[in-house]
Amino acid sequence: GQQVMQIPQYQHVQEGEDFTTYCNSSTTLSNIQWYKQRPGGHPVFLIQLVKSGEVKKQKRLTFQFGEAKKNSSLHITATQTTDVGTYFCADNYQLIWGAGTKLIIKP
Amino acid sequence: NAGVTQTPKFQVLKTGQSMTLQCAQDMNHNSMYWYRQDPGMGLRLIYYSASEGTTDKGEVPNGYNVSRLNKREFSLRLESAAPSQTSVYFCASSEFGQGVSEAFFGQGTRLTVV
């Protein structure tokens, strides 16, 4: 079946550095949703992208949906300790989730 | 509003035991879902219910059964637990198809099968 590949699995950054996670699908996605899961918590919705080439921003977070609707990215500028967690992409229509990227802030 | 409520939060079972995970939502959503989450993996769909009265298999349905009791409640049953079912289980609900179909998740059930 269709899979959504998400990379990297982990990213270690110094506080203040940028962070990016990518989702790639071999087939066209219906939409892309992004969720954040804090350690020990449950996924919390961040945003949904539907249109080809769509870009949305939420403060320091920038979300993009590829022109072919087969890939998406989440970029965080100047990470803060509150950004720690695992970020997941999902095609909510086809109910497929990426494996997540864990953001770790180096001490 | 409570959102999505799951019980229990933690459970330890012996191999072969059965149990039912309960889930209720108070947002009047049509769609409800059961996922499992294993370390290093995303959420894998076990079963979903697009609307009251319907249920469908997801990616990993073997060893599980579900019941959509009414619009609010969607339960997941393990008839004969196996160590491979040790996982964190999440129930979720959404208003599928209505614009932004954000999924709301319960707090999770941490299940260990020994």
Confidence category of residue B39, pLDDT binned at 50, 70, 90:
confident
Q: What is the mean pLDDT of residues A16-42?
A: 95
Render the burial of B82-112: b for 16+ CB within 10 Å, e for the rest: eeebbbbbbbbbbbbeeeebbbbbbbbbbbe
State the SS3 of A25-91.
ECCCCCCEEEEEECCCCCCEEEEEECCCCCEEEECCEEEEECCCCCEEEEEECCCCHHHCEEEEEEE
What's the rounded Cα separation, in Å, for the pair A82 and B106? 21
pLDDT tens-place string over residues B57-88: 999 999 999 999 899 999 999 999 999 999 99
Confidence category of residue B1, pLDDT binned at 50, 70, 90:
low
Q: Which of B42, B103, B106 sits opposite A99 (nearest CB)?
A: B42
A42 touches chain B (CB under 8 A): yes
pLDDT tens-place string over residues A31-59: 999 999 999 999 999 999 999 999 999 99
What's the rounded Cα separation, in Å, for the pair B82 and B5? 25
Q: What is the pLDDT of residue A40?
A: 92
Report CB contact under 8 Å: A9, B40: yes
Q: What is the pLDDT of residue A1?
A: 63
Q: Can the peptide bond before residue A107 be classed as cis, meaning omega within 30 degrees of 0?
A: no
CA distance A67 to chain B (A): 20
